[in-house]
């Protein structure tokens, strides 16, 4: 299932990815720190939504209360909830 998540409080404006039985692939961030977000996308490819959330949820960026990684964690959990409905 394709999922698009509109981020909040980050330089990235949205995150697109595929979720299949809780496994995440093909993560693409729109805007944000290009090199870092490409690296995160490669690192989490094939991880479960729960694994991503365990590692990245609550991560902050500078003075912000969130980060692109934190937003990814929130996105995959929302997608997982939608997938199981």
pLDDT tens per residue across span 20-74 = 999 999 999 999 999 999 999 999 999 999 999 999 999 999 999 999 999 999 9
Q: With a cut of 90, say whether residue 8 has pLDDT above it.
A: yes
Domain containing residue 43: 2-83
Which string of b and e fits 26-43 if b means at least 16 CB within 10 Å?
Answer: ebebeebbeeebeebbee
Total domain count for the chain?
1
Specify the pLDDT at position 10: 97
On the CB side of 35, CA atoms within 13 Å amount to 0
Q: With a cut of 90, say whether residue 85 has pLDDT above it.
A: no
Assign residue 58 the CATH number of its domain.
3.90.1010
The pTM score is: 0.96
């Amino acid at each position: 299932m394709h999922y698009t998540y509109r981020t909040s409080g980050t330089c990235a404006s949205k995150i697109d990815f595929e979720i299949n039985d809780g496994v995440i692939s093909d993560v693409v961030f729109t805007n944000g720190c290009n090199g870092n977000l490409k690296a995160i996308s490669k690192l989490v490819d094939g991880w479960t939504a729960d694994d991503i959330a365990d590692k990245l949820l609550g991560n902050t960026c500078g003075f912000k209360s969130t980060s692109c990684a934190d937003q990814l964690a929130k996105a995959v959990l929302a997608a997982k909830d939608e997938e199981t409905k």
